[in-house]
Amino acid sequence: RKEVEQDPGPFNVPEGATVAFNCTYSNSASQSFFWYRQDCRKEPKLLMSVYSSGNEDGRFTAQLNRASQYISLLIRDSKLSDSATYLCVVNYAGNNRKLIWGLGTSLAVNP
Amino acid sequence: DGGITQSPKYLFRKEGQNVTLSCEQNLNHDAMYWYRQDPGQGLRLIYYSQIVNDFQKGDIAEGYSVSREKKESFPLTVTSAQKNPTAFYLCAGRATYNSPLHFGNGTRLTVT
């Protein structure tokens, strides 16, 4: 089993739709979690951190479920500009505090 | 503007040549990272440094070298020993061990 797993997609949704991505992780000692957005041939950009109580930033909501070891990202009222690859990152505890990256979920929002 | 600056954006080299990718930051981050990304693959860690004059190998360090002589700079050298150097190289930094990474714009290296 991979340390961090994401459904690669692609997710094809119409404008205005609500779409949700999950990301599962295997190490229960994980300390912090993040969602990044990466556009084609660009660097990843931080979308949001994921807090234990869940957090919202405009149309984006992130949730953490430690019991089941997954994080989720919900996008409401999808825009064309939301089309990108969404990467989840898990920060493990330990001496090197390693960051483990998922392979990403591809989202295409269609007119 | 604060940030992480990578240069050049595109780099072309002949096989057998060493090449150095620049990464400079003015965010005062202690920790800096080098990743490689290939099409259809995730980010793979090459080297990281948590403090000046110290660095650690990542998952794919073979054929690469780094230095961290000052906090602001973390250059990556791709040596001729790297078998498949053509890739998108990303430099990143973070403020604390629980902070998210902030990336530079990346350098796309093509070796022919």
> What is the per-residue pLDDT across A52-82, written as a single tens digit (0 to 9) for each?
999 999 999 999 999 999 999 999 999 999 9
* Coil, helix or strand at residue A37: strand
Q: What is the mean pLDDT of chain A?
A: 93
pLDDT at B41: 84
Asked if B90 lies within 8 A of A43 by C-beta distance, the reply is: yes
Identity at A15, one-letter amino acid code: E
Per-residue model confidence (pLDDT) at position A95? 55
Q: Which of B92, B30, B13, B23 is nearest to A101 (CA)?
A: B92
**Mutation choice for A interface testing from B97, B102, B105, B108 by most A CBs within 10 A:** B97
Arithmetic mean of pLDDT over chain B: 94
Tell me, yes or no, if A44 comes closer than 8 A to chain B by beta carbon: yes
User: What pLDDT shows up at residue A97?
Assistant: 65
Q: Is A43 on the interface with B (CB under 8 A)?
A: yes
- Residue A107 identity (one-letter amino acid): L
Structure tokens at B77: 């050298």
Give pLDDT tens digits along chain A (111 positions). Answer: 788 999 999 999 999 999 999 999 998 888 899 999 999 999 999 999 999 999 999 999 999 999 999 999 999 999 999 999 999 999 987 656 678 999 999 999 999
- Please state, in angstroms and rounded to a whole number, the distance separating the CA atoms of residues B77 and B85: 11
- Report d(CA B77, CA B67) in Å as an integer: 9
Q: Does A99 touch chain B (CB under 8 A)?
A: yes
Q: How far apart, in whole angstroms, are the C-alpha atoms of residue B20 and residue B80?
A: 11
Strands A70-75 and A60-65: what pairing?
Answer: antiparallel
Distance CA A82, CA A84 (A): 6
Residue A29's pLDDT is what?
83
* List of chain B residues whose C-beta atoms are within 8 Å of the C-beta of residue A49: 100
State the sign of the Cα–Cα–Cα–Cα dihedral B52, A29, A52, A20.
positive
| pLDDT surpasses 90 at B40 | no
| A95 Cβ under 8 Å from any chain B Cβ | no
DSSP letters, B28-57, are: --SEEEEEEE-TT--EEEEEEEEETTEEEE
Q: Is residue A21 within 8 Å of residue A7, measured between CB atoms?
A: yes
Amino acid at B2: G
